[in-house]
Amino acid sequence: MVGIDGLSGGGPIVAGLLLMGLDMINAAATSAYVLIGTSIVGALLHVSNGQVDWNVEIGLMIGALIGAFIAPYIMIKFNHSSTWLPPIMGVLLIIMGNKIII
């Protein structure tokens, strides 16, 4: 649910890195590295407790792998249009914040 609901902290990490002057590609990559670490720890804990529904997990893994291969190409394309990408990210962060509050 962390990845689906946007509760992983990726939004605030990206926003903070953008405010620190990083470009979108480096901010997204840094956020992904943080997410990888927390995901591995969480996955190991869930597997060790027997709390994994493997039927659902296989579909999620396939979707994540497809997204992992496609996302860098999309980010490179968006980075060339950097004038409108930060406002879009700002709107998405506001939507995520409202989703968490509600």
Q: Which domain holds residue 55?
A: 4-101
- 12-49 pLDDT, tens digit each: 788 888 889 888 888 888 888 888 888 788 888 888 99
Instruction: Indicate the number of domains in the chain.
Output: 1
Classify 50 in phi/psi space as left (phi over 0), alpha (psi -120 to 50) or beta: left
pTM of the model: 0.46
CB 5 within 8 A of CB 98: no
- 39-53 pLDDT, tens digit each: 788 888 888 998 888
To 10 degrees, the CA torsion angle through 35, 22, 26, 23? 130
